[in-house]
Structure 1
Amino acid sequence: MANTEQFPGVAALLEVMQRLRDPESGCPWDLQQTLTSLIPYTIEEAYEVAAALTEGNLAEIKDELGDLLFQVVFYTQLTSEQGQFTFDQVAQQTADKLIRRHPHVFAESSAQSDAEIKAQWEQIKQQERAAKGETASVFNGIPDNLPSILTAQKLQKRAASVGFDWDNIVPVLAKVREELAEVEHELNAQRLDKEALADEIGDVLFAVVNLARHAQVNPEHALRRTNHKFKQRFQAIEQRLAERNTAATELSLAELEQEWQLVKAQLKTAAND
């Protein structure tokens, strides 16, 4: 098994972390941190990795991956100080788990197709959860604090793993239309019930995540791309208006829509060049 001597970069990072946490000569900020105080920074770094990947800038991706890795190193420095576990033990446990969950690569297994491999993966995970003594549920192990889109996707995948799923995309599309009709019904009600409307909009979002899953599109990635595209287009409008010493608030909705269509066409042309 590899050790840090074969990975000098890992060894250097671990040493830097130890120096930062040195009780006498370390960094005051780093010395104040706990396993829970680091949570917001870890989430932020994960999103920055996702943003860099969306942009496709390799230098930025390398930098953000390093920042995210540092979070893992920080956590394991704290647990090591507490006599719990080290970075190397986390890496070893992960390697063992991946080997265990890939018998089609590391052991004898007849699974070959994507569907067979996924079914095998879920079966092994169920066995692992049972070995931990967890109450039997297909949803065991799904954290409560994941982003809602990711939670919906995981819930749907788990339900599908035991057969609760449509076998093609046609009824999924029909379900999206059905949920949209229910939103429209609530909006047209004589008295607006905001709780009921929120429930129906939630159902639409859940159905759209299901549509993305059946279309083999990552909904979080798709929405992130759309957010980036919207931001890029609107900032282009702001730039056009700034060149004319005009603010967006001075234009009517129809005029802003005209600017939007012009920018959209320009950016599309530039992308195709």
Structure 2
Amino acid sequence: MADINSRSSQLAAFDRLLTIMDELREQCPWDRKQTIESLRHLTIEETFELSDAILENDLEEIKKELGDILLHIVFYAKIGAEKKAFDMGDVINSLCEKLIRRHPHIYGDTKVKDEEAVKQNWEKIKLQEKGNISVLGGVPKSLPALIKAMRIQEKARGVGFDWEEKNQVWEKVEEEMKEFKEEFDVVKDAIDKEKATAEFGDLLFSLINYARFIEINPEEALERTNLKFIKRFQYLENAAKSAGRKIGEMTLAEMDVYWEEAKKL
């Protein structure tokens, strides 16, 4: 492995990648066929694979997945160069200029007292750059709803629209829980699903807000619970199979025995 502290070796490696990309685009039938549009869904998939590796804290896999994403970035830049729109140098220089603009406390005279002030400056500068009418205009429409809620709340906080104390946020959670329970009272014969859905959405939004306020990433928290459930359920399946049982034919009480065993692992 090359010395990770050697700038020259890193630049040489990047130059090698650019050369390989040129060769693949010219000589490989699959690579020649790709477009910005055709690569889009593959890039999304690679991003999720990186996310999995990060959650598993697998540094070797993280390295590989970062390489895959870097390949996509270089690929997009190569296509951009063919269209005479931009090349890899343009992409990198544009990024460098943006980082300098958005860190005036490093590259300018702006004074900041903490991390929160840095984030607020970032959002204000970003708003000026993009010329958005709304602070929330930069939130991608296609983001998953949970992540979108996080970004909406972060952007609102970036311009000072936020709760002051965490107990205020928790009171909002309790208020939304009460409203949801009233709308979705299990003793009612008839339930207005539309209203119940709206109240449940409000409850989720307030919970995400509270998680953000106490510095818990709700997306990561939920995914950890997903993985924990999968692990325990697969233990249940394997234990039942070892006992010669079919899980679909077992009672809930019988499955709970294995489930409790899985929780102890």
TM-score (norm 1): 0.87
Structure 2: distance between partners of 1:14 and 1:116: 38
**Number of equivalences:** 257
Gaps of 5+ in 1: 268-273
Asked whether the 8 Å contact 1:149–1:220 carries over to 2, the reply is yes
1:19 maps to which of 23, 26, 31: 23
Matches of 1:31 and 1:184, distance apart in 2: 57
Supply the AA of the counterpart residue of 1:145.
S
| Other-structure match for 1:164 | 161
Output the CA distance in 2 between the equivalents of 1:204 and 1:248.
Answer: 34
2:38: which partner in 1? 37
Match in the other structure for 1:148: 145
Displacement after TM superposition at 1:191 (Å): 2.1
Stretch of structure 1 that moved more, 156-165 or 75-84: 156-165
| 1:8 counterpart letter in structure 2 | A
How do 1:32-181 residues align onto structure 2 when only pairs under 5 Å count?
32-130=33-131, 134=132, 136-181=133-178
How many angstroms apart in 2 are the aligned matches of 1:88 and 1:162?
A: 33
- Contact kept, 8 Å, 1:4 with 1:10, in 2: the verdict is no
Q: How far is 1:154 from its partner?
A: 1.3
Q: Is the 8 Å Cα contact of residues 235 and 258 (structure 2) preserved in structure 1? A: no
- Cα distance in 2 for partners of 1:258, 1:177 equals 34
The counterpart of 2:181, out of the listed 159, 184, 188, is 184
1:223-262 equivalence runs, <5 A: 223-262=222-261
Instruction: Extract unaligned runs of 5+ from structure 2.
Output: 1-6
Distance 1:176 1:254 in 2: 33
Residue 66 of structure 2 aligns with an amino acid whose one-letter code is L
Q: What amino acid maps onto 1:158 in structure 2?
A: K
Structure 1: distance between partners of 2:184 and 2:206: 19
- The letter for the 2-side match of 1:203 is D
Whether the 8 Å contact between 2:136 and 2:152 is mirrored in structure 1 is yes
Change (3 A) 1:195 1:141: same
Output one character per residue of 1:194-236: Cα deviation in whole Å (capped at 9) or x when no partner: 2222222221221111111101111111112111111112112
SS of residue in 2 equivalent to 1:173: helix
Task: Summarize the Cα distance change of 1:258–1:177 in structure 2 as closer, same or farther, 3 Å threshold.
Answer: farther
Matches within 5 A, 1:3-18: 7-18=11-22
Relative to structure 2, which stretch is displaced further, 178-187 or 195-204?
178-187
1:198 aligns with 2:197: yes
- The corresponding residue for 1:271 is none
Q: Determine helix, strand or coil for the equivalent of 1:36.
A: helix
CA distance in 2, matches of 1:151, 1:81: 34
**Is contact 2:240–2:246 with CA below 8 Å preserved after alignment?**
yes
Give the RMSD, CA atoms, in angstroms.
2.0
Report the Cα distance in structure 1 between the residues aligned to 2:215 and 2:22, rounded to whole angstroms. Answer: 43
Deviates more, 1:115-124 or 1:5-14: 5-14
Q: In the alignment, residue 181 of structure 1 is paired with which amino acid? A: K
3-state SS in 1 of match to 2:37: coil
1:6 deviates by: 5.8
- Using the size of structure 2 for normalisation, the TM-score is 0.89
Q: Which amino acid aligns with 1:11?
A: D
Tell me by how many angstroms 1:5 deviates.
Answer: 8.3
CA distance in 2, matches of 1:241, 1:5: 54
Tell me the secondary structure at the aligned position of residue 239 of structure 1.
Answer: helix
What does residue 4 of structure 2 align with? none
State the shift of 1:111 in Å: 0.7
Instruction: Using the aligned pairs only, state the percent identity.
Output: 40
